[in-house]
Structure 1
Amino acid sequence: MNAASSWTLHLPFRVLKPAAALGQFNLLRWFSIISFMIIGAVAIGLGSLSTRFLMNESLERDALLSAQFIQAVAIGEIRHHDLSGMQMGDILTSTAFGMLKEETLHNRARARLEFLDHLAHLPDSLLATIYSPDRVVLWSTNPVLIGRKIFGDQALEAAFSSRGRVSAKYTEVQKGRIEQQFMQAPRAFFIENYIPLNDRHGNVLAMVEIYKESMDLIERVNRGFRLIWMATALGGLAIYFGLFWIVWRASKLLASQQDQLVANKTYGGLVEMSTAVAHRMRNPLASIRTSAELALGTAGQPAGKNIADIVNQVDRMSSWVRDLLLCLRPLRGEAEPVDLVGAVHATLSSFEQPLALAKIQVAFDATPMPLVVSHQLLLAQVLNSVIANAIEAMPEGGRLAIDTSLSADGRQVQLCIHDTGKGLTRQQEMLAFKSIYTTRQGGLGIGLIMVRQIMERFGGEVSLSSREQGGTRVCLYFKVSG
Structure 2
Amino acid sequence: MPRKETASDDQFDLMRRFLLLSLVAICIVSIASAALMSRFLTNRLLQRDAEVTRDFVQNVMETELAKGYSLDHPEMVERLAAFLKHVAAMPDVARANVYATDSTLLWSSENRLQGRKYGGNPELAEALKGQLEIESGEVGGRHRHKAEHYYLSGSRARFVELYIPLRDAGTRAVVGVVELYRIPVALTRAIHAGTALTWLTSIGSGLFLYAVLFWIVRRADRVIRSQQERLIESETMEALGEMAAAVAHGIRNPLASIRSSAELWQDAARAEDAEPATDIILEVHRIERWIRELLTYSAPPDYRKEATAPGPIIERSVEGFARELKRRRVSIELSVPPGLPDIQANAALLTQALNNLICNAIEAMPAAGGTIVVACSSKPETRQIAIEVRDTGSGIGPEQLSRICQPFYTTKADGLGVGLTLVRRIARRFGGDLHIESAPGAGTAVTLVFLGAAR
TM-score class, shorter-chain normalisation, is: 0.7 to 0.9
Tell me if 1:319 matches 2:286: yes
| Alignment CA distance shift 1:238-1:394 (3 Å) | same
Tell me, yes or no, if the aligned pair for 1:170 and 1:189 is still in contact at 8 Å.
Answer: yes
Aligned residue among 63, 66, 71 for 1:89? 71
Tell me if 1:189 matches 2:158: yes
- Which deviations, in whole Å up to 9, do the C-alpha atoms of 1:420-473 show, x marking residues without a partner? 33333445444443322112234322332454566678x585623213143322
| Alignment CA distance shift 1:227-1:154 (3 Å) | same
Q: TM-score, normalised by structure 2?
A: 0.76
Tell me if 1:475 matches 2:447: yes
Alpha-carbon distance in 2 for matches of 1:267, 1:45: 53
- Which deviations, in whole Å up to 9, do the C-alpha atoms of 1:158-195 show, x marking residues without a partner? 111x2242112224243442222142124233211112
Tell me if 1:52 matches 2:39: yes
Aligned to 1:70: 57
Aligned to 1:346: 319
Aligned residue among 131, 135, 139 for 1:168? 135
Q: How does 1:348-427 map to 2 (within 5 A)?
A: 349-356=322-329, 360-365=330-335, 367-368=337-338, 382-395=353-366, 397-405=369-377, 408=380, 414-427=386-399
Aligned to 1:204: 174
Tell me, yes or no, if the aligned pair for 1:88 and 1:197 is still in contact at 8 Å.
Answer: no
CA-based RMSD of the aligned residues comes to 4.6
How far does residue 135 in structure 1 lie from its aligned partner after superposition?
1.7
Higher relative CO (Cα under 8 Å, sequence separation at least 6) belongs to 1
Alpha-carbon distance in 2 for matches of 1:252, 1:332: 26
Structure 2 counterpart of 1:471, one-letter code? G
| Alignment CA distance shift 1:399-1:125 (3 Å) | same
Matched residue of 1:89: which SS?
Answer: coil
Alpha-carbon distance in 2 for matches of 1:265, 1:88: 95
Aligned to 1:154: 122
Q: Which runs of 5+ in 1 are unaligned?
A: 1-16, 79-83, 95-104
How far does residue 252 in structure 1 lie from its aligned partner after superposition?
3.9
Structure 1 counterpart of 2:134, one-letter code? S
Structure 2 counterpart of 1:70, one-letter code? V
Matched residue of 1:351: which SS?
Answer: helix
How far does residue 130 in structure 1 lie from its aligned partner after superposition?
2.1
Tell me, yes or no, if the aligned pair for 2:157 and 2:183 is still in contact at 8 Å.
Answer: yes
Aligned to 1:226: 196
Identity %: 31
Aligned to 2:234: 264
- Which deviations, in whole Å up to 9, do the C-alpha atoms of 1:272-293 show, x marking residues without a partner? 12442455456677888969x9
Alpha-carbon distance in 2 for matches of 1:410, 1:194: 72
Matched residue of 1:434: which SS?
Answer: coil
How far does residue 156 in structure 1 lie from its aligned partner after superposition?
1.2
Alpha-carbon distance in 2 for matches of 1:366, 1:388: 19
| Alignment CA distance shift 1:340-1:409 (3 Å) | farther
Alpha-carbon distance in 1 for matches of 2:292, 2:198: 69
Aligned to 1:142: 110
Alpha-carbon distance in 2 for matches of 1:25, 1:230: 32
Tell me if 1:179 matches 2:179: no
Aligned residue among 86, 92, 97 for 1:124? 92
| Alignment CA distance shift 1:398-1:181 (3 Å) | farther
Comparing 341-350 with 122-131, greater Cα deviation is found at 341-350
| Alignment CA distance shift 1:431-1:365 (3 Å) | same
How far does residue 72 in structure 1 lie from its aligned partner after superposition?
4.2
Matched residue of 1:437: which SS?
Answer: coil
How many positions carry a matched residue from both structures?
A: 435
How far does residue 31 in structure 1 lie from its aligned partner after superposition?
4.0
Q: Which runs of 5+ in 2 are unaligned?
A: none
Structure 1 counterpart of 2:435, one-letter code? L
Alpha-carbon distance in 2 for matches of 1:220, 1:231: 16
Structure 1 counterpart of 2:313, one-letter code? L
| Alignment CA distance shift 1:283-1:167 (3 Å) | same
How far does residue 224 in structure 1 lie from its aligned partner after superposition?
1.0
Comparing 335-344 with 467-476, greater Cα deviation is found at 335-344
Tell me if 1:235 matches 2:186: no
Matched residue of 2:119: which SS?
Answer: coil
Matched residue of 2:149: which SS?
Answer: coil
Structure 1 counterpart of 2:116, one-letter code? R
Tell me, yes or no, if the aligned pair for 1:462 and 1:474 is still in contact at 8 Å.
Answer: no
Alpha-carbon distance in 2 for matches of 1:157, 1:319: 105
Structure 2 counterpart of 1:417, one-letter code? V
Q: TM-score, normalised by structure 1?
A: 0.72
Q: Which structure has the larger Rg?
A: 1
Matched residue of 1:174: which SS?
Answer: helix
Alpha-carbon distance in 2 for matches of 1:376, 1:176: 91
How far does residue 249 in structure 1 lie from its aligned partner after superposition?
3.9
How far does residue 230 in structure 1 lie from its aligned partner after superposition?
2.1
Alpha-carbon distance in 2 for matches of 1:438, 1:62: 82
Matched residue of 2:406: which SS?
Answer: coil
How far does residue 419 in structure 1 lie from its aligned partner after superposition?
1.6
